[in-house]
Structure 1
């Protein structure tokens, strides 16, 4: 009879926070460690493995362990104080003059940072439609391009980039591939297993799922000089997540598999219903067969197509803004991935230069009854 430890599923490990039991109290919920400093040994060493709170924390390590397991990250995971802190650390690890190719449609705050701060630091950035592999290959310059940054599904049009193909293109040119997989979540997509070097999540979103934590995470395929540099940037800049926020994130992740499944089902149901709505010209959701990236999404996503969709209204921008103003169950708010469903006229938020169509409403499907969500938005669309 084998004495080896059973290989539990990711769902089981996540639900039990990797099965951690506090050795002192036997509590099944990991404690929150708030200490910022630790006792040295008599020989001045730190046998506990902890030195100071800025680069490291026991509660943060617990959450990072779950995330590394979910992403199958050999290098582990690093939690940051926000998704932006995590994403920008990747680019800060590059050198002045390095070339970056990034998705043209992506999270607007990071796109803005790349267009301003990254350029000011001496980085060269080109934005392309990364779902077009020919365009991606043409933009990557062997020997000069050091980072290819892909967001898939991309916010707010939910275009799909073939991660495995993008990895081949990047690696052939001597570049790394980083993937913003916030919308997919580790439940639906594992970019590292498809060839990516780094995966990023705005953990504020579906990973936490309760709209009460701002956090970001990077997971790495392997420990190398670049990964060590990213870790050093987090340490030196003090960008680590706080222990209470790490505890809340861990609490949220315990139900991750249940929430992602429920929210993806709701998003799919709504996408199908709205596809036949007379006030809606187009539904953007990778789960729909007519979506241009559906076949790739079906290949690299598992168990669903995510919780985000967008609709474009037949009567244009003014109608979209009016509809968002008339909902009751949907909440008009920025962000996504929480248990409550959110609606937003995205072009108004992003402002001039946005690639977001003015007639578009971005929808984040929560865990409410899908019939209620449909009826609420249907009524808002039909009024006026």
Structure 2
């Protein structure tokens, strides 16, 4: 049995290097670069350094690149996250489209595929004295439940005014997602991803703790999907029928790592079903460790596995692939590489998911996918990878 510190790869990963077609896009393999906020976009614009950063991942063999989250044009969409993350990108027509077109062109020049992830920070946005954070019911959540990493942020946000948006203001935010999706098409991206996880705005509408609204934007678990459904529909209309649309979701929230979007498979089906029907092609199930059973009382199937079983759609696994520690254990510490790809392969061949999204390890080494394929030793993770564009 391979130990966590054994970074050689004496296994045949060829099944994960088979192509996958999602609508009009064919991926050369099943490894994707997970979206990761990097804060390298002064004036909300990616430069040549960002283009080169993504281009190197295409050169390194990554089958699909999903960009860092890009904000919509809503005034409260992006700002300081409270974790030192500023210089965040957004889509707002004009210069933003031209800048991202250069990124897409750089990746395409190396034969890569790239799609942007759209987000609105919602209740997770730090107040800036101009635009308050935007949340369905004017709630951040319970700050006493915030993970250690977010304690100070939680105190600041929860103590700041957060007005309850009107139905019309919510509809405007939905329209903003549609405009951003059109910008993505204009920039030449190959598809679109939506950030519906981790306590950000789409997730805040799905989560009962932050959405206490009545109809039409709130209510029971199914009614709370209304915002996500309308965003998906707006984005599908903007990108057309040929480009794939990926939707990231999670149980955990930054406000509460122990939170559960769904308590059992039936509730998860009730939530994902309407979102699936609205036009999603692949559900990206974000967990801290990809092989964690989603509902232990119902077996060892992962969250990605349950999403696939319940919706019939393609799914993606993400969390801890190729590394021995979770994201919030490695922000300021090195971590050994882990040859857990055998377990990944086993679950992939069992049909639990269709792609595997790798975050920190591809961030650390642009050639990680190529090394995994050829059986080279995998690198350890070093935290300085988070502060530079390697």
So what's the TM-score if we normalise by structure 2?
Answer: 0.26
By relative contact order (CA 8 Å, sep 6+), the higher-ranking structure is 2
Q: Compare CA radii of gyration and give the structure with the larger one.
A: 1
So what's the TM-score if we normalise by structure 1?
Answer: 0.26
